[in-house]
Structure 1
Amino acid sequence: MKQYLEIGKVNNTHGLKGEIKLSMWCDDIDYLKQLKTVYLDDEGKIPLTLINARSQKNIAILKFAEITSVEQAQELKNKVLYCNRDDATIDDGAYYLADVIGCKVVDVDTNEDYGKIVDVMNYGAGDIYDVKKGKKHNLIPVTDDIVKKIDAENGVVEIKPMKGLFDED
């Protein structure tokens, strides 16, 4: 499992005192408010001290101790920010999308292997798993009717495929 997880992408500056606008890739602002430090790299080597996080519409406005001017904030534009998974808590039964990637997808009834999750996409209506087996990709909508159990810790997602989800021989 990855230790440092993507939390969003800096899309702009906010004001003149070094605040940034972040497109959040986490559930909500409450997740970000748990963090004291975020990182500019996926290894935790370039920390930024988070001193304030607030939401504005569907983005987060963040203030870091190290960034005090709009010019410094501009240097962060288009950068992805990371957090250490140990610095925040998530609800019981919740999981990080990064932990689902690589999971094997199996039929809940027959244990048939459908492949591995290689990506998680979201176009607004909900998550979609990109499942690859061999050279073939299948897209699986993440709904309660289809995805029955997500066991990211053991690397298995159990599904009940609906008719037409996979090519039928």
Structure 2
Amino acid sequence: MSEWYKVGKIVNTHGVRGEIRVISSTDFAEERYAVGTELMIRHEGKKEEVKVVVRHHRKHKNFDLLQFENYHSINEVELFKGATLYVSEEELSELGEGEFYYHEIIGCSVVTEQDEELGKVKEIIETGANDVWVIQRSGPGKDILIPYIEECVKEIDVEQKLVRIHLMEGLIE
């Protein structure tokens, strides 16, 4: 049985021809939503799953618009609102040296170069220039935002689920 990884949340329908509006949480949207890609739709807290095949993909504002094979009207996709989209492990391609999937980074413990534990990566935000990792603190306090840049992120060990960073001035209040 293969693993399934979250790639987005279906927030609404779009038009009357069966398109859905997705807020992506994937690092390679063009690849994830390529024509012919099999995705799984699951509502949180429910056991039922629907496997679909991407028929069409396009970007619109901050959303990815998808249309699936055999779903041609708004009435057929209305029930997908609020569901989560997943991609199979088999659909993931090999990455180059020093490249990582979001699901490999989310959940990693984050420590400073002096081994001070800061917390765990809970989310990754794409900003355009570079990604920003949201670190949920181990103790009290606001989340820490860490830019994914060479000067800050010094070491990533996905096997150990550990990220070592250089704590740049001003990152923690």
Given the two structures, how large is their TM-score scaled by the length of structure 2? 0.75
Instruction: State the Cα deviation string for residues 82-101 of structure 1 (Å, max 9, x = none).
Output: 11132122632322222223
Aligned to 2:30: 29
Comparing 24-33 and 150-159, the one that deviates more? 24-33
1:75 partner SS? helix
Contact 2:135 2:146 in 1 (8 A): no
Deviation at 1:23, TM superposition (A): 1.9
Instruction: State the Cα deviation string for residues 112-166 of structure 1 (Å, max 9, x = none).
Output: 1414415125384742332432455651412322111222233110101123545
Looking at structure 2, the residues matched to 5 and 72 of structure 1 have their Cα atoms a distance apart, in angstroms, of: 24
The alignment of Structure 1 onto Structure 2 pairs a total of residues equal to 164
Matches within 5 A, 1:76-155: 76-89=80-93, 91-92=95-96, 93-108=98-113, 110=114, 112-122=115-125, 124=127, 126-135=131-140, 138-144=143-149, 145-155=151-161
Looking at structure 1, the residues matched to 60 and 83 of structure 2 have their Cα atoms a distance apart, in angstroms, of: 19
RMSD (Å) for aligned C-alpha atoms: 3.0
Identity of aligned residues (%): 23
Given the two structures, how large is their TM-score scaled by the length of structure 1? 0.76
Looking at structure 2, the residues matched to 154 and 73 of structure 1 have their Cα atoms a distance apart, in angstroms, of: 40
Aligned to 1:158: 164
Contact 2:124 2:134 in 1 (8 A): yes
The one-letter amino acid of 1:133's match is: S
Contact 2:110 2:121 in 1 (8 A): no
Q: Mark the CA change 1:30 to 1:113 in structure 2 (over 3 Å): closer, same or farther.
A: same
Contact 2:17 2:73 in 1 (8 A): yes
Q: Mark the CA change 1:100 to 1:123 in structure 2 (over 3 Å): closer, same or farther.
A: closer
Aligned to 1:8: 8
Looking at structure 2, the residues matched to 34 and 69 of structure 1 have their Cα atoms a distance apart, in angstroms, of: 18
Q: Which runs of 5+ in 1 are unaligned?
A: none
The one-letter amino acid of 1:160's match is: H
Q: Which runs of 5+ in 2 are unaligned?
A: none
Contact 2:109 2:121 in 1 (8 A): no
